[in-house]
Amino acid sequence: MLTITDLKVSYGAIKALEGVSLTVGRGETVALVGANGAGKSSLLKAIMGLVSATGEVTVEGTGPILGRSPHKIARSGLRAVPEGGAVFNGMTVRENLQVGFASGASRLDEAGAFDDAFLRFPKLGQRLDQLAGTLSGGERQMLAIARALVGAPSVLLLDEPSFGLAPVVVDEVFAMIEMLTSGGLTILLVEQNARRALSLASRGYVIEQGSIVVEGASEQLSADSRIVDAYLG
Ligand code: ATP
């Protein structure tokens, strides 16, 4: 569904990605794990057209997307949920969802797309007129994910969904992602929390200093002593 080949990103003299290749199959959840500064956010920004990059990014049914504007990339079915569930704090829950719907490609009308989201996240349906900035951390992450879903993405990119959340809320957020995974959504899950990410994903990639150093089935990575020592403690 998503194929990334030899992706390179530099910020002046700093090489953030040095030729990364990875794939996410239709309906698959794939984890990308790595430490601070390894290049995870740069990869997501490059996919979404937010930083310039070389290489190739292809979405099934759409073709190569590198070099397109972020707006066109969103239209092509890719949707990113930013680190820590950034939402528009000064807007209501409803307005946040409307932004997601307007920039997406749902075949449903707005009411239908919202109802679909409320089936997954009933809490949001009860808080439509609440300002997003007054939601709890977990609810904000829920809204950020729902805002992406109302645009009917073919691939969902999740950037550190557990970032900055209390452990009990992290449990809730991973339960939400598990629901999406078992619903057959195609997901690239970028996480520092390798243990949790690999427990959900079928496959994983480990990135260090801008390069993929190990890839494989999640069970295989979770049993690899180098991964356990470096990321799973
Ligand atoms: P984190 O988990 O801390 O968010 P990350 O794995 O997402 O880290 P990136 O944010 O992609 O890593 O950063 C990769 C490298 O690129 C780092 O060395 C970082 O300092 C550098 N970098 C990122 N953005 C810029 C920028 N705008 N200008 C210069 N260097 C940058």
Query: What is the CATH architecture of 2-232?
Result: 3-Layer(aba) Sandwich (3.40)
Question: Using one digit for the tens of pLDDT, what is the confidence trace for 94-116?
Answer: 999 999 888 777 778 888 888 88
Query: Residue ranges of the domains in the chain?
Result: 2-232
Q: pLDDT at position 4, please?
A: 97
pLDDT along the chain (233 residues), means of 10: 97 96 96 92 94 94 89 87 87 93 80 87 92 92 92 92 87 90 93 90 95 94 81 69
Q: pLDDT at position 227, please?
A: 78
Ligand 1 contacts CB of residue 45 (under 6 A):
no
Report the nearest-CA residue for atom 30 of ligand 1.
11
**Start-end of H helices in 48-92:** 70-75
Q: pLDDT at position 233, please?
A: 62
Identify the residue whose tokens are 């194929």: 3
Report the nearest-CA residue for atom 21 of ligand 1.
16
Greatest pairwise CA separation for the chain in angstroms: 50
| 51: three-class secondary structure by DSSP | coil
Question: Using one digit for the tens of pLDDT, what is the confidence trace for 47-76?
Answer: 999 999 999 999 988 889 998 998 888 888
